[in-house]
Amino acid sequence: MDKRKVTSRLVLGCIAVGLAVTAVSIYVWKDKYGVSEVQKETLVGERPRGNCSISGRVVSATTGNPIDHARMYLHYNVTHGSIFIDTARNGTFAFNDIPNGPFSLQMSHTAGYQDVAYNPENNPGQFPDFSLKDGEQRSGIELKAAQARRISGKILDQNGKIPANIGDWPVLACVKNDDDKGYQTVQANVDRGNGSYVVDGLAKPAYVMAINWQAAKEGNASPPVYAPGVFSRSDATWITFDEKPNVDNVDITLKKEGGLILKGTVLDEAGEAVPEAFVVVHRPDMCFDFVTAYTDERGHYQIQGLGDGEFSVHVDAVHRGFVRMRTPVTLGKASTARRDFALPQGVTISGKFVDEEGKDWQIGQSYGEASIITGEPNHPSDIGSGFSLTNFRNKHRPKDAGRGSGGSFARGDGAYDRGELIFPTTNTFIVQGMMPGNTKIVFSPNKEKQKVVKILYNGQDIMESGIETKPGQEIKDVAIFVGTE
């Protein structure tokens, strides 16, 4: 499971809430292009360190001129630490003192240019991998960035004024993936003073939406609004660049009422109401146009302001011991649709992390999950078919001492057969509302050259065999031993 490939777009879009980000200035460096200046790094996670380096420059694919202050992004696939730097005046960059192993390198979010990835091995995907050998000093790389397209406009309220809470409304451009099976997003820069926005770096046509992240975290059922000011994507403006590279005056008028309504009740298998259930609704091909709500004391929820079309609905009450559920729903001509849920009883598994000597081991920025062993080659809850939003999860779950993985959603129908590890402290974990069955725990230490060597429960190593669980069971004192490779 490559968690990064689910979340990297969010990291680059500057909405990676809760990640440890620090900036440091490092030494003067000089490469074959003759650049000599102090380079400033921005880090996400732990900085990877070693005896390797990689350097080069970025130029315009049209003119061949160097691009200064281009944003360079290097991601280390072992520990999932990321380094961001800007190119120098002559377009050069260098990542020094990095380890050997698998990386991805990309120029991203640079005004006037499309993102471009370093891909010497012609690997597929948005973030293709490459590897450095021990001690390798790779240089002379040249990335050619194509000219980008740009969309600009203003965010307005229904009176034509700047919204008082404009800071809660980021703007996203939604662009179709190359396979036409979904969308990726590019976040705009918003001027809170005058309500204007600019989204740059686009290569293809796009929808533009404003979405209230704060409301989504709190479950306030505030749906996104597409330009020019509609809830329904079928009524939204599909912005093309047939005549010119820049399209201006694409205003978004926010609205609070109207659209279609989805409502329902969340109960347990005995027919009792389940309050505090987190309900997430989004389009399965877009994911980022999501709306959230919580059930009340009677287990009721209601979301208005939806458009027509196909949606996915997820219900999360794992903190009350219930298995997460999801189902597709199609909204059409009727103004109100209903979707009820009966949540099955789940399992709680908890424990701690220790080193090979049995002493407490600190998780750092690690992540993990538990899943049901089915023997099927294609897992219906495969994380690669879903999406992840850090800190967008049920607020009643235990607090997470690390970055964790609490906030991912998978497409499909029925019960989730995967559960995310949450870290209440820096050396303990808990997974709640896990589907009963033969359960396997997987943990990825986000530290270089470390791995899980065994997982003990009642004196038995369950790392490969898993553990058999039953509805309502609470399993404690699982020990995950982390050692060196």
- With a pLDDT cut of 70, the percent of the chain lying above it is 87
Average pLDDT over residues 392-403: 82
Q: Residue 274 has which token pair?
A: 């389940």
Write out the residue range of the structural domain in which residue 436 sits: 347-484
Give the CATH number for residue 356: 2.60.40
The answer, yes or no, to whether residue 381 has pLDDT greater than 70, is no
> In which band, very low, low, confident or very high, does the pLDDT at 17 lie, cut at 50, 70 and 90?
very low
Residues 332 and 358 both lie in one domain: no
3-class secondary structure, 93? strand
Domain endpoint, select from 145, 172, 207: 145
Residues 268 and 244 both lie in one domain: no
Residues 355 and 461 both lie in one domain: yes
Residues 352 and 422 both lie in one domain: yes
List all residues 6 or more positions away from 98 whose beta carbon is below 8 Å from its beta carbon.
Answer: 48, 49, 50, 52, 53, 54, 74, 76, 83, 132
Give pLDDT, residue 242. 80
Residues 167 and 247 both lie in one domain: yes
- Separation CA 421–CA 402 (nearest Å): 11
- With a pLDDT cut of 90, the percent of the chain lying above it is 62
State the SS3 of 283-299.
Answer: CCCCCCCCEEEECCCCC
Residues 181 and 277 both lie in one domain: no
Domain endpoint, select from 224, 253, 282: 253
Give the CATH number for residue 196: 2.60.40.1120
CA angle, residues 302, 303, 304, in degrees to nearest 5: 125
Residues 408 and 480 both lie in one domain: yes
Give pLDDT, residue 411. 81
- Peptide linkage before 228 cis (omega within 30 of 0): yes
pLDDT per residue over 413-445, tens digit each?
999 999 989 999 999 999 999 999 999 999 988
The answer, yes or no, to whether residue 12 has pLDDT greater than 80, is no
Give the CATH number for residue 332: 2.60.40.10
Number of domains in the chain: 4
Residues 8 and 141 both lie in one domain: yes
The answer, yes or no, to whether residue 1 has pLDDT greater than 80, is no
pLDDT per residue over 113-137, tens digit each?
999 999 999 988 778 999 999 999 9
What global pTM score does this model have? 0.82
Give pLDDT, residue 478. 97
Q: Do residues 86 and 69 touch, judged by C-beta distance below 8 A?
A: yes
Mean model confidence pLDDT for the chain = 86
Residues 390 and 463 both lie in one domain: yes
Residues 408 and 441 both lie in one domain: yes
Domain endpoint, select from 145, 160, 185: 145
pLDDT per residue over 204-261, tens digit each?
899 999 999 888 888 998 899 999 999 999 999 999 988 788 999 999 999 888 899 9
Residues 33 and 121 both lie in one domain: yes
3-state helix, strand, coil in the chain (%, to 5): 5, 45, 50
> In which band, very low, low, confident or very high, does the pLDDT at 26 lie, cut at 50, 70 and 90?
very low
Residues 352 and 449 both lie in one domain: yes
Average pLDDT over residues 93-101: 94
